[in-house]
Amino acid sequence: MTAFDDDDVRRLALALPGTEEGTSYGNVAFKVRGKLFTWERPLRKADRDALGDAAPEGEVIGVRVEHEIAKRALLSAEPERCFTTPHFDGSPIVLVRLDCTGPEELEELIVEAWLCRAPERLANAFLADREGR
């Protein structure tokens, strides 16, 4: 069973306008207008070696964040849920442990990742619609 067999991840990602499901390096991935924003990210041997005993055993997804400052803030604020590996050094990407992430947190992470990658007009329309509810 993969992270994206979880109906919540798929439902949340596909509920966002312009989102398509596909693959990235053989793993399930979600893109908005061709730009990757969240994906299944099993840990590789190099990741496990780098993380040592801190390597999580559960399902992991990758999410895009706005920039390196946002990445550092998220890693500092939520170390039990969010982490990184040397592979993502210098990239605005955070890895998320699904087994430590509740539905509200998961939705927030996926929506924020989508907002980072969606075209401005699409993101603004989404936010305006959301505020109108």
Residue 46: how many other CB atoms lie within 10 Å: 11
Phi-psi region of 8 (alpha: psi -120 to 50; beta: other; left: phi over 0): alpha
Residue with tokens 């170390």: 79
Amino acid at site 95: L
Pairing of strands 60-64, 82-83: unpaired
Check pLDDT > 60 for residue 4. no
Q: Is the pLDDT of residue 1 over 80?
A: no
By the 8 A CB rule, do 39 and 24 touch?
yes
> What's the length of the chain?
133
**φ/ψ of residue 85, rounded to 5:** -135, 165
pLDDT band at 6 (very low <50, low <70, confident <90, very high): low
pLDDT for 5 beyond 50: no
- Mean pLDDT in residue range 4-33: 90
State pLDDT tens for residues 43-84. Answer: 999 999 999 999 999 999 999 999 999 999 999 999 999 999
Residue 2 pLDDT > 80 = no
Asked if the model's pLDDT at residue 123 lies above 70, the reply is yes
- Residue 12 reports pLDDT greater than 60: yes
Whole-number pLDDT of residue 117:
98
Mean pLDDT on 28-52: 96
What are 71's two structure tokens?
A: 């990445």
**Contact at 8 Å (CB) between 115 and 35?**
no
Per-residue pLDDT tens for 87-99?
999 999 999 999 9
